[in-house]
Amino acid sequence: MDIGVVLEALADQPLEEALSFVRDGALEIRAVEIGVGGYAPTGHCDMHALLEDKDARNSWSDLVASFNLKVSALNAWGNPLHPDEEVAHRHRKDIVDAIHLATELGVPRIVALGGCPAGKPGDRAPHFAAGGWLPYLEGAWEDQWEGSIEECWSALGKTAEAENPELKICLELHPGTVVYNVDTFERVAALSPAIAANVDPSHMFWMQMDPLAVVRRLGPAVGYAHAKDTSFNREELGLNGVMDARWPENPATLAWNFSIPGRGHGRDWWQEFVDALGTTSATTLSIECEDPFVEPRDGIAEAASFLTACGAGGEVLR
């Protein structure tokens, strides 16, 4: 299990500078996950320029390799189901282009989100159909399935299968999208063998899911993993619960925040998580630094050291 890092945390820095930090400041990291489309920042990879020019692809790959790093995934998180067809088309195309580029570069994984469509035809905003406790919420997810989810992800899966049977599109189980728990993932994953799961325990923690149970249930269908923790403010949690609409206001006032691995759950839990990932098809545990109380470079270095102590990674090669 390689330790990787989502370079989005260093999006304000040129690629060479970010890679230099990873090489020199977080020796345990062997792989980088790089944004190429959707809502992901793309300053580290001009996907369309690389698709058009083999020499540019080779130069880009050589630059990453010169820091003794490899690319574990291309990230195209976005909303391919958006009610605004212009946005939906652009994000679907970004996933398709990421499939082509990953194949050319020999990158085995694409990280994406399932997306979020309208609640009803004619709606202008995405509608997260997370439950039917009230009459106007009931049945929304099924309507979305028939209206857009099945068609979109069947088509994207078929594109990946035809282009590169070894490539996996790893959908993060993420609230606010149509894939956010085991039930919704399994429904979408059944559309194509190219669809796998990206497991990020932080979202499961705040939804009161058990990431270990999720990994054991999905097994080989887990194709990738993010390393991110969640810390709870018990006083605020008691008053406002986990569905706190104040985000992203002052993190100190919120019921929960994302945190560096080890700051929300201890070493024993993370060791068990690393062990559980050994039963899946994931080969990279990619640090995603979104802790509002920690500077990204410090958080990445801390997380890399902690995950190594938990049994991830291997001998430091640099």
At 240, phi and psi to the nearest 5? Answer: -125, -5
DSSP 245-283: TTTTS-GGGSSEEEE-TTSSS-HHHHHHHHHHHTTSS--
The rounded Cα 98 to chain-centroid distance in angstroms is 14
89 inside domain: yes
DSSP 221: G
**What are the pLDDT digits (tens) for 237-277?**
999 999 988 888 899 999 999 999 999 999 999 999 999 99
81 residue type, one letter:
L
Is residue 317 assigned to a domain? no
SS (H, E, C) 130-194: CCCCCCCCCCHHHHHHHHHHHHHHHHHHHHHHHHCCCCEEEEECCCCCCCCCHHHHHHHHCCCCC
Q: Tell whether 164 is covered by a domain.
A: yes
DSSP run (H or E) holding 203: helix 201-206
The count of structural domains within the chain is 1
Q: How far apart are CA 222 and CA 218, in angstroms?
A: 6
Q: What is the pLDDT of residue 134?
A: 86
Ranges of the chain whose pLDDT falls below 50? none
* 215 is a domain residue: yes
**Predicted local confidence at residue 245, as pLDDT:** 86
Do 218 and 244 meet the contact criterion of CB atoms below 8 Å apart? no
| Secondary structure (DSSP) of 47-92 | HHHHHH-HHHHHHHHHHHHTTT-EEEEEE--S-TT-SSHHHHHHHH
Q: 3-state DSSP call for residue 285?
A: strand
Strand partners of residue 111: 75, 170
Could you tell me if residue 9 is inside a domain? yes
What is the per-residue pLDDT for 317?
A: 53
Residue 315 resides in a domain: no
Contacts of 96 (CB under 8 A, 6+ apart): 156, 159
The answer to whether position 201 is within a domain reads yes
Is 50 within the bounds of a domain?
A: yes
- Helix (H) and strand (E) counts in the chain: 12, 10
Domain CATH for 138: 3.20.20.150
For the record, the structure tokens of 238 come out as 């008691």
Structural domain boundaries, residue 203 = 2-309
CA distances from 99 to 91, 133, 280, 288 (A): 12, 38, 22, 22
pLDDT at position 316, please? Answer: 55
